[in-house]
């Protein structure tokens, strides 16, 4: 379903549009809603357990957690068809933050706030160079030769 919406968005982008029309959006939203509701139905009709209640929230499967997020965040999930500036996926944002998370996992944490800021500054610089399709090694070499070209 989402891939079909993406195809429609790609076609509309090729035609120079900035969003799908209301007439295109409405059936997509209905279909999305029907799919999520149908997927959630088995979870809603589960018989109550005879086991004594446990403290805290009930543990759910990964599938149920995903369905809950798709249900709760429908507007955000489908935003890419309403506003073409929003990408279909967030792979770029995930890649940008991944190195920071890996560093935290391996080291446990950053040793100082200054070290954290330096790490983020360097990663941001590299990420910007990649987005601008510039050669990272050449640009870093220029930085160390004290002749940096600042990415725009």
Burial (Cβ within 10 Å: 0-12, 13-18, ≥19) of residue 9: buried
> What tens digit of pLDDT does each residue of 86-121 get?
888 877 767 777 777 777 777 767 778 888 888 888
C-alpha torsion sign, points 57, 61, 65, 70: negative
Read off the tokens for 103: 């560093």
pLDDT in tens, 67-80: 999 999 999 999 99
In a domain, 52, yes or no: no
Residues 32/74, Cβ–Cβ less than 8 Å: yes
- How much is the pTM? 0.60
For the chain, the domain total comes to 2
Range of the domain at 112: 91-144
- Nearest alpha-carbon partner for 2 in 24, 41, 42, 31: 31
Same domain, 6 and 76: yes
Q: Are residues 135 and 65 in the same domain?
A: no
């Amino acid at each position: 379903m989402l891939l079909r919406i993406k195809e429609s968005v790609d076609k509309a982008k090729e035609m120079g549009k900035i969003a799908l029309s209301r007439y295109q959006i409405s059936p997509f939203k209905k279909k999305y809603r029907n799919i999520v509701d149908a997927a959630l139905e088995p979870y809603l009709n589960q018989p109550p357990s005879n086991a004594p209640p446990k403290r805290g929230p009930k543990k759910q499967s990964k599938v149920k957690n995903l369905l809950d997020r798709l249900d709760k965040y429908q507007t955000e999930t489908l935003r890419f068809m309403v506003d073409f500036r929003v990408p279909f996926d967030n792979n770029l944002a995930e890649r940008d933050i991944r190195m920071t998370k890996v560093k935290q996992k391996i080291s446990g944490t950053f040793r100082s706030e200054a070290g954290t800021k330096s790490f983020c500054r360097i990663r941001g610089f590299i990420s910007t160079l990649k987005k601008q399709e510039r050669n990272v090694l050449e640009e870093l070499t220029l930085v160390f030769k004290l002749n940096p070209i600042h990415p725009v």
